[in-house]
Structure 1
Amino acid sequence: MKRLIILALIAIAFTNCKRTETPVVEGSETTEVEDTYSKDNYTKKEVMIEMRDGIKLHTTIYSPKDTSKAYPILLKRTPYSCRPYGEDKFSKKVGPNKYLMEEGNIMVYQDVRGRWNSEGVYDNMRAFIPNKTGNQTDEASDTYDTIEWLINNVDNNNGNVGTYGISYPGFYATYSVLSGHPALKASSPQACIGDFYFDDFIHNGAFLLSYWRATSVFGYMKDTPTKEAWYEFPDIGTEDQYQFFLDAGPLSNLDTYYDEDNVFYEQIKTHPNYDEFWQSRGIIQHLKDIKPATLIVGGLFDAEDLYGPFNTYSSIEENSDNFNSVVFGPWSHGDWARTKERQVIGNIHFGDNLSDYFQKDIETPFFNHFLKGDASENVDLPEAHMFDTGKKEWASFDTWPPENTTKESYFMQPYERLTQQANRRIATSDFVSDPKKPVPYTEDIKVVFTPRKFMTDDQRFAARRPDVLVFETEILENDITLAGDILAKLNVSTTGTAADWIVKVIDVYPSDMETPDDNEDVQDHLKLSNYHLMVRSETMRGRFRNSMSTPEPFVPNQKTAVNIELQDVFHTFKKGHKIQVQVQSTFFPYIDANPQTYVDNIFQAKEEDFKTQTHKVYNDSSIEFTVLK
Structure 2
Amino acid sequence: MAATPPEKGAYKDYPSETPANFKPVHDAFDYESRDVMIPMRDGVKLHTVILVPKGAKNAGMLFTRTPYDATEMTSAIESGHLAMAVSHDDDASDVLVQDGYIRVVQDVRGKYGSEGDYVMNRPLHGPLNPTPVDDSTDAYDTIDWLVKHVPESNGRVAILGISYDGFEPLMAIVHPHPALKAAVPMNPMVDGWMGDDWFHNGAFRQQNLEYIYEQTASRKNHYKWWKNYADDYQFFLEGGSAGAIAKAYGMEQLGFWNKVVAHPAYDTFWSQQAVDKILGREPVSVPTMLVASLWDQEDIYGAFAVYKAMAPHDNAHKLFLVAGPWFHGQEVGDGSSLGAVRFGSDTALYFRQNILRPFLAHYLKDAPAETAPVNAYITGQNRWETALAWPVAPGGDVRLVPEADHSLKVAGASTPAQGDAGTVEYVSDPAHPVPYRPRPVGPMAGQGWQHWLTSDQREAASRPDVATFTSPVLTEAVQISGEPRVHLVASTTGTDADWVVKVIDVYPDQVPTQPEMGGYELGVSMDIFRGRYREGFETAKPIAANTALPYDFVLPNANHVFLPGHRIMVQIQSSWFPLYDRNPQKFVPNIFLAQPADYVPATQKITTGAGGTTIDLPLGRKA
Answer yes or no: same fold by TM over 0.5.
Answer: yes
331, 336, 353: which one aligns with 1:336: 331
Q: Determine the structure 2 residue equivalent to 1:549.
A: 538
Q: 1:86 to 1:588 in 2, by over 3 A?
A: closer
Asked if 1:289 corresponds to 2:283, the answer is yes
Asked if 1:501 corresponds to 2:492, the answer is no
Q: Determine the structure 2 residue equivalent to 1:6.
A: none
Asked if 1:303 corresponds to 2:297, the answer is yes
CA distance, structure 2, for counterparts of residue 257 and residue 71 of structure 1 = 48
CA distance, structure 2, for counterparts of residue 280 and residue 150 of structure 1 = 31
Q: CA RMSD in A?
A: 2.3
How far residue 303 of structure 1 moved from its aligned partner, in angstroms, is 0.8
Q: 1:532 to 1:39 in 2, by over 3 A?
A: farther
Q: How many residues align?
A: 573
Asked if 1:81 corresponds to 2:69, the answer is yes
Q: Which moved more, 1:233-242 or 1:246-255?
A: 246-255
How far residue 130 of structure 1 moved from its aligned partner, in angstroms, is 7.1
Pairing of 1:316-331 with structure 2 (within 5 A): 316-321=310-315, 322-331=317-326
CA distance, structure 1, for counterparts of residue 472 and residue 205 of structure 2 = 34
Contact persistence 1:46–1:86 (CA under 8 A): no
378, 392, 405: which one aligns with 1:402: 392
Contact persistence 2:214–2:221 (CA under 8 A): no
SS at match of 2:442: coil
Contact persistence 2:400–2:614 (CA under 8 A): yes
How far residue 465 of structure 1 moved from its aligned partner, in angstroms, is 1.0
Q: Determine the structure 1 residue equivalent to 2:364.
A: 371
Contact persistence 1:38–1:93 (CA under 8 A): no
Pairing of 1:122-161 with structure 2 (within 5 A): 122-129=118-125, 136-161=132-157
Q: Determine the structure 2 residue equivalent to 1:240.
A: 231
Q: Determine the structure 2 residue equivalent to 1:452.
A: 450
How far residue 346 of structure 1 moved from its aligned partner, in angstroms, is 2.0
Q: Determine the structure 1 residue equivalent to 2:351.
A: 358
206, 219, 222: which one aligns with 2:216: 219
Q: 1:463 to 1:399 in 2, by over 3 A?
A: same
Asked if 1:176 corresponds to 2:164, the answer is no
Q: Determine the structure 1 residue equivalent to 2:12.
A: none
Pairing of 1:400-549 with structure 2 (within 5 A): 400-419=390-409, 420=411, 421-423=416-418, 425-450=420-445, 451-514=449-512, 516=514, 527-549=516-538
Q: Which moved more, 1:501-510 or 1:411-420?
A: 411-420
Contact persistence 1:413–1:423 (CA under 8 A): no
CA distance, structure 2, for counterparts of residue 411 and residue 59 of structure 1 = 55
CA distance, structure 2, for counterparts of residue 160 and residue 134 of structure 1 = 31
Q: Which moved more, 1:460-469 or 1:233-242?
A: 233-242
Over residues 400-423 of structure 1, what are the superposed CA-to-partner deviations in whole Å (9 max), with x where a residue is unaligned? 112413122221111112113524
Q: Give the TM-score normalised by the residue count of structure 2.
A: 0.88
CA distance, structure 1, for counterparts of residue 114 and residue 51 of structure 2 = 18
SS at match of 1:260: helix
Contact persistence 1:218–1:264 (CA under 8 A): no
Pairing of 1:35-50 with structure 2 (within 5 A): 40-50=29-39
CA distance, structure 2, for counterparts of residue 133 and residue 589 of structure 1 = 33
CA distance, structure 2, for counterparts of residue 247 and residue 337 of structure 1 = 38
Poorly superposed stretches of 4+, deviation over 6 Å? 36-39, 85-91, 130-135
Q: 1:192 to 1:252 in 2, by over 3 A?
A: closer
The code of the aligned residue for 1:396 comes to T
Q: Determine the structure 1 residue equivalent to 2:602.
A: 613
Q: Determine the structure 2 residue equivalent to 1:24.
A: none
Over residues 362-386 of structure 1, what are the superposed CA-to-partner deviations in whole Å (9 max), with x where a residue is unaligned? 1111110011106xx7x31111111
Q: 1:132 to 1:45 in 2, by over 3 A?
A: farther
| Structure 1, gaps ≥5 residues long | 1-35, 223-228, 518-526
Q: 1:86 to 1:352 in 2, by over 3 A?
A: closer
SS at match of 2:42: coil
Contact persistence 1:122–1:221 (CA under 8 A): no
Contact persistence 2:379–2:559 (CA under 8 A): yes
Q: 1:39 to 1:489 in 2, by over 3 A?
A: farther
SS at match of 2:251: coil
SS at match of 2:554: strand
How far residue 252 of structure 1 moved from its aligned partner, in angstroms, is 3.4
Q: 1:550 to 1:75 in 2, by over 3 A?
A: same
CA distance, structure 1, for counterparts of residue 230 and residue 27 of structure 2 = 39
Q: 1:395 to 1:85 in 2, by over 3 A?
A: closer
Q: Determine the structure 1 residue equivalent to 2:614.
A: 622
Over residues 438-485 of structure 1, what are the superposed CA-to-partner deviations in whole Å (9 max), with x where a residue is unaligned? 111111415122433111111111111111111111110100001111
Asked if 1:202 corresponds to 2:199, the answer is yes
Over residues 151-198 of structure 1, what are the superposed CA-to-partner deviations in whole Å (9 max), with x where a residue is unaligned? 011112112111000000000011111132111110000001111112
SS at match of 1:147: helix
Over residues 571-592 of structure 1, what are the superposed CA-to-partner deviations in whole Å (9 max), with x where a residue is unaligned? 1000010010000001111211
The code of the aligned residue for 2:468 comes to V
The code of the aligned residue for 2:179 comes to A
How far residue 353 of structure 1 moved from its aligned partner, in angstroms, is 2.1
The code of the aligned residue for 2:324 comes to G
The code of the aligned residue for 2:198 comes to F
Q: Determine the structure 2 residue equivalent to 1:18.
A: none
The code of the aligned residue for 1:397 comes to A
SS at match of 2:229: coil
CA distance, structure 2, for counterparts of residue 314 and residue 308 of structure 1 = 10
| Structure 2, gaps ≥5 residues long | 1-24
CA distance, structure 1, for counterparts of residue 28 and residue 600 of structure 2 = 61
CA distance, structure 2, for counterparts of residue 139 and residue 117 of structure 1 = 16
CA distance, structure 1, for counterparts of residue 138 and residue 243 of structure 2 = 37
CA distance, structure 2, for counterparts of residue 240 and residue 119 of structure 1 = 38
The code of the aligned residue for 2:207 comes to S
How far residue 201 of structure 1 moved from its aligned partner, in angstroms, is 1.9
CA distance, structure 2, for counterparts of residue 234 and residue 40 of structure 1 = 38
The code of the aligned residue for 1:168 comes to Y
Q: Which moved more, 1:481-490 or 1:245-254?
A: 245-254
CA distance, structure 1, for counterparts of residue 536 and residue 366 of structure 2 = 47
How far residue 610 of structure 1 moved from its aligned partner, in angstroms, is 0.5
SS at match of 1:253: helix
SS at match of 2:253: coil
Q: Determine the structure 2 residue equivalent to 1:70.
A: 58
Contact persistence 2:123–2:129 (CA under 8 A): no
SS at match of 1:458: coil
Q: Give the TM-score normalised by the residue count of structure 1.
A: 0.87
The code of the aligned residue for 2:244 comes to N
Asked if 1:258 corresponds to 2:250, the answer is yes
Asked if 1:57 corresponds to 2:46, the answer is yes
The code of the aligned residue for 2:168 comes to Y
